[in-house]
Amino acid sequence: MDTELTILRPDESISPQSLSRKTRIPYPIIEDILSSLVFESSLGVSFIIFCTNDDPDLVHAFEFPDKKLLRDFIVNNKFTCPDCDSQLNTKNIRVAFIKKDIPVSV
């Protein structure tokens, strides 16, 4: 767990799913740990939604720091990707955890 988080650079994100796979810690426990880290402010959260473009190379991702902004985005764009007019994939919203850049005093 420590190692995994330490190799993350500031502003890099990781999904609880991949962390769970790498550490073999059950997903619910990973979520608990990450949530408490968010609470302690050493991690930030972001919500990522993808569009359903048929071409995997053209799938767009949109990232939001909170659920409200994500919902506003979906509603304002009428569930449609503003870049390619495909549907937004509201069934597959990812939550990413981002290691915050904690200033180190020199």
Nearer to Zn ion, 83 or 101 (CB): 83
CA distance 93 to 45: 13
Q: Which of residues 4, 11, 12, 83 is near Zn ion by CB under 5 A?
A: 83
Binding mask 20-59 for Zn ion (x = CB under 5 A): -------------------------------x-x------
Nearer to Zn ion, 5 or 59 (CB): 59
81 binding Zn ion? (CB under 5 A)? yes
Across the beta sheet with 13-14, the strand order is 13-14, 94-99, 43-50, 61-64
Smallest CA-to-CA distance from 65 within 48, 83, 77, 42 is with 48
